[in-house]
Chains A and B, each alone.
Chain A
Amino acid sequence: MTGRQASPSVAGAEDPIVFVIDDDSSVREALSNLFRSVGLRVEAFGSAHEFLQLKLPNVPSCLILDIRLPRVSGLDFQAELAKADIHIPVIFMTGHGDIPMTVRAMKAGAVDFLTKPFRDQDMLDAVTAAIERDRNSRDEAKVLSNLHELFATLTPRERQVMALVTTGLMNKQIAAEIGLAEITVKIHRGHIMRKMGAKSLPDLVRMAELLGIGPASGQPQT
């Protein structure tokens, strides 16, 4: 009754997945049916516990959660996921959503809050938005991790120079700041641009921002 419902085999392994947790099998089945009808992969669970048994695949996904779950409420479960560093966009469903609950859910980062029975389009829109959000955050995470990798290839002196360059200092100023010849700074700068794959100074500045590099530390603040 609370078993996982397999997604259609036609969907590829990289396709997004919608996870559903609801203790009511009818609702679970209906949601699975709806998502399948629009070609989405679905996995449904009867309880939060069952969901947690799963090793989440690394694909864009979202979680549809009934706010009243047996044993643990949807809101508490949302907090639990955050604590466990599982960042999955959550769409809440409720029989009768009250405002405090909605506010709490949205503050905790819920994508949407739908009241049963909901319009199919509302649900699909919410799911699309959630998956998009997940995909973006996954992309961002990917970009960031690439940047970290590139940043890791820089020498400590290069990192120091990069931090100063991205604050908008001239080569001459940087040379004076760290006691190097202007020409040396220029060479470092060239290496940095090449190693980081930056096309321009603004590009490098954006990367520094993403890495959280400040002039004081010269270290990424992640």
Chain B
Amino acid sequence: MIRKPTIKSWRSAEQWLLGSMALALGTVAGIWLLLDPVPMAVPHFAALVLLIASLAASLIMIGLAGRTRRQMEAMLQGQVGAEARAIETLRSSEAQWKEVFEHNPVMYFMVDAKGTVLSVNTFGAAQLGYSVSELLGKSVLKVFPAEEQLAARSNVGVCLENIGQTHSWEICKVRKDGSSLWVRENAKAVRRLDNQLIVLIACEDITERKEAENALRQSEMYLAEAQRLSRTGSFGWRVASGEIIWSEETFRMFGYDKAPSIKHATVFQRVHPDDRARVEQTIDRASRDGKDFAHGYRLLMPDGSVKHVHATAHAVTDASGEMEFVGAVTDITARKRAEMKLHEAQATLAHVTRVTALGELAASIAHEVNQPLAAVVTNAAACRRWLDRDPPDLKEARGTLESIIKDGTRAGEVIQRVRALVSKAPDQKAPLNINDVINEVISLVQHELLNHRISLRLELSPALPLAIADRVQLQQVILNLVINGIEAMQPVMDRPRELMIRTCQDEARQIMVTVKDCGVGLATENADRLFDAFFTTKSGGMGMGLSICRSIVDAHGGRLSASGNAGPGATFHFTLPLDQEGAP
């Protein structure tokens, strides 16, 4: 604070002068009145008055001048006070700002072009575990980990190239104790009055946000990785807007580049043309009913490869009451391929056992072909004799030719049946009458039954609905069950050997085929293993027959089971569903 003693002393001197003049004037007047109480001569009086007047006037003048001067002095003095106050205010403001600067929870750095710290606030230094003096004059790189120093340097460089422009970035710093913190820096290069280029940097600690971000990113990464590993992508579908949101894995699965959202048309572009109608139907129904759905379909990729996917979706209502589906789509191509391979292996095995079974029936089949063949040869000879007659008996010859055609056709049919069983044809499911299938099989085993003195009882329900099935596969099942029955009855000597085949509809309206023998029956300890592969009680058996029969029936959505009879023997049943929706 500046002191001004001169103004104060000036004022008291003036008061003193004014006081002493008034006192002197009073003294003169008193003396005059004392010495000459009679009125004096007029000239003396006039001179006295004049003197007094002039004295008074000068007194007034002095007073006026003093006032003016006092006013001026006061003015001057006020001016000086304001200045002082301003300085005072400035000083306090500076202190305040200094406080703010020092303790504001923002780290301030001022560095020169070389990156030497010119200034740093206490908070800034403290945040990094340093005291201000520990940083001043040091390279700012000191507070950056080695891997960030290059970035720090280049950031400062960018600022220096664009003076006056504010730049911001996020960077990791390292504390004195080696721990790190993430900051967001706002920086600007400015030219100081002394023409020196400096960079002002304000940094805000964003470690928490960064950690949260990192945690989120990591969690997303885990999810993405998990999706990739499980080949399961996720999707969201807002029904009203038709907007579909996919996860990274879903994009990869469908072979598209990542995009914020996609439309149905994009999805359908990949759906296999053969599956499109079905997928469309499912989607339409879901959007109408708003119910959870699951479906499998194929994708036809641009490179011509086919993927099998399975999607499951759960219906939810979002905050605004809009219907939305959240779901997962899994690439099941590998599983499908494995299934197909398994199926192929099963088909091969089924084929082998079929051929083996036919091998066992070779004599029977040969007989079935030979009979009509013998008839053809005999009829042809007879026909020649009818023609050789004189006159030729054309009527008989014609009749004989009819027989030849009939028998030749019959032989051909047997061969066709055998060929179908021997062939390795792929699944051909078609509507068929199970009774026809049974009769076809019987035609092949007739002789076998005869040879084993087995009488066959057929109870085929005439009014059965058609089943959708593979003819050859069903023939194999029936053939196998019949051969099993024949073999089971081989040791039977004390009772008539009878094999019964029955068709009917069970209580669930499914087609049921029953093959019942009166043979050795089932040993209870074997009942559970009956359908296991390689399980056999026969010395020459492979143990594949029933196992394959069961897998064939399963593949048709039916069930094959066995039970012991109340009397001797065993009964095998299998069912076939009327419609094949339940079949896998």
Enumerate chain A interface residues (CB-CB to B < 8 A).
23-24, 26-27, 29-31, 33-34, 36-38, 68-71, 93, 95-96, 116-121, 123
Residues B406 and A26 in contact, CB atoms below 8 Å apart = yes
A29, A38, A70, A117: which contacts B403 (Cβ < 8 A)?
A29
Residues B396 and A27 in contact, CB atoms below 8 Å apart = no
B451 nearest in chain A by CB position: A68
> Nearest Cβ in chain A — how far from B457, in angstroms?
14
A30, A69, A95: which contacts B382 (Cβ < 8 A)?
A30
Residues B378 and A33 in contact, CB atoms below 8 Å apart = yes
Residues A26 and B407 in contact, CB atoms below 8 Å apart = yes
A118 to B380, CA, bound (A): 12
Task: Give per-residue flags for B336-375: 1 if the beta carbon is below 8 A from chain A beta carbons, else 0.
Answer: 0000000000000000000000000001001100111111
A23 to B447, CA, bound (A): 11
A34 to B407, CA, bound (A): 15
B370, B382, B447, B450: which contacts A120 (Cβ < 8 A)?
B382
A123 to B375, CA, bound (A): 13
B367, B378, B389, B450: which contacts A117 (Cβ < 8 A)?
B378
Chain B positions within 8 Å of A27 at CB level? 371, 374-375, 378
A68 to B378, CA, bound (A): 19
Residues B373 and A30 in contact, CB atoms below 8 Å apart = no
Residues B375 and A29 in contact, CB atoms below 8 Å apart = yes
B160 at the interface (CB under 8 A from A): no
> Nearest Cβ in chain B — how far from A115, in angstroms?
9
A71 to B456, CA, bound (A): 11
Residues A26 and B410 in contact, CB atoms below 8 Å apart = yes
B535 at the interface (CB under 8 A from A): no
A24 to B443, CA, bound (A): 12
B369 nearest in chain A by CB position: A95
B377 at the interface (CB under 8 A from A): yes
B400 at the interface (CB under 8 A from A): yes
A23 to B406, CA, bound (A): 17
> Nearest Cβ in chain B — how far from A173, in angstroms?
63
A93 to B366, CA, bound (A): 15
Residues B370 and A117 in contact, CB atoms below 8 Å apart = yes
B379 at the interface (CB under 8 A from A): yes
A126 to B382, CA, bound (A): 16
Residues A37 and B378 in contact, CB atoms below 8 Å apart = no
- Interface residues of B, count at CB 8 A: 32
Residues B453 and A30 in contact, CB atoms below 8 Å apart = no
B182 at the interface (CB under 8 A from A): no
Task: Give per-residue flags for B393-417: 1 if the beta carbon is below 8 A from chain A beta carbons, else 0.
Answer: 1001001100100110010000000
A120 to B378, CA, bound (A): 6
Answer whether A30 and B366 are a contact pair too, CB < 8 Å, given A37-B386, A68-B450, A95-B371: no
Residues A68 and B447 in contact, CB atoms below 8 Å apart = yes
A17 to B386, CA, bound (A): 19
Chain B positions within 8 Å of A121 at CB level? 381
Residues B370 and A95 in contact, CB atoms below 8 Å apart = yes
Residues A117 and B376 in contact, CB atoms below 8 Å apart = yes
Answer whether A31 and B378 are a contact pair too, CB < 8 Å, given A26-B410, A68-B451: yes
Apart from A27-B374, A34-B382, what 20 extra A-B contacts exist at CB < 8 Å? Answer: A24-B371, A26-B372, A26-B403, A26-B406, A27-B375, A27-B378, A29-B403, A30-B403, A34-B378, A68-B450, A69-B450, A95-B367, A96-B363, A116-B370, A116-B373, A117-B370, A117-B374, A117-B376, A117-B378, A120-B385
A72 nearest in chain B by CB position: B453
Ordered by A's residue number, 30 sampled pairs between the chains whose C-beta atoms are within 8 Å are: A27-B371, A29-B375, A30-B374, A30-B376, A30-B382, A30-B403, A31-B378, A33-B378, A34-B379, A34-B382, A34-B385, A37-B382, A37-B389, A37-B393, A37-B396, A68-B450, A70-B450, A71-B453, A71-B455, A95-B366, A95-B367, A95-B371, A116-B371, A117-B378, A118-B378, A119-B381, A120-B377, A120-B382, A120-B385, A121-B381
A120 nearest in chain B by CB position: B381
A101 to B150, CA, bound (A): 105
> Nearest Cβ in chain B — how far from A35, in angstroms?
8
B363, B367, B381: which has the most chain A beta carbons within 10 Å?
B381
B453 nearest in chain A by CB position: A71
A117 to B376, CA, bound (A): 9
5 tightest A-B CB contacts, nearest first? A120-B381, A116-B374, A26-B375, A30-B378, A117-B374
B373, B375, B379: which has the most chain A beta carbons within 10 Å?
B375
A168 to B385, CA, bound (A): 56
Chain B positions within 8 Å of A117 at CB level? 370, 373-374, 376-378
Chain A positions within 8 Å of B407 at CB level? 26, 30
B386 nearest in chain A by CB position: A37
A119 to B453, CA, bound (A): 30
A2 to B366, CA, bound (A): 23
A18 to B62, CA, bound (A): 187
Chain B positions within 8 Å of A120 at CB level? 377-378, 381-382, 385
Chain B positions within 8 Å of A93 at CB level? 374
Residues A24 and B375 in contact, CB atoms below 8 Å apart = yes
A95, A116, A123: which has the most chain B beta carbons within 10 Å?
A95
Interface residues of B in 469-495 (CB under 8 A from A): none
Residues B381 and A34 in contact, CB atoms below 8 Å apart = yes
Residues B378 and A123 in contact, CB atoms below 8 Å apart = yes
> Nearest Cβ in chain A — how far from B372, in angstroms?
5
B370, B372, B396: which has the most chain A beta carbons within 10 Å?
B370
A29 to B375, CA, bound (A): 8
A209 to B550, CA, bound (A): 74
Interface residues of B in 221-260 (CB under 8 A from A): none
Chain A positions within 8 Å of B372 at CB level? 26
A26 to B410, CA, bound (A): 10
> Nearest Cβ in chain B — how far from A70, in angstroms?
6
A30 to B399, CA, bound (A): 11
Interface residues of B in 152-187 (CB under 8 A from A): none
A120 to B373, CA, bound (A): 13
A37 nearest in chain B by CB position: B385
Residues B379 and A33 in contact, CB atoms below 8 Å apart = yes
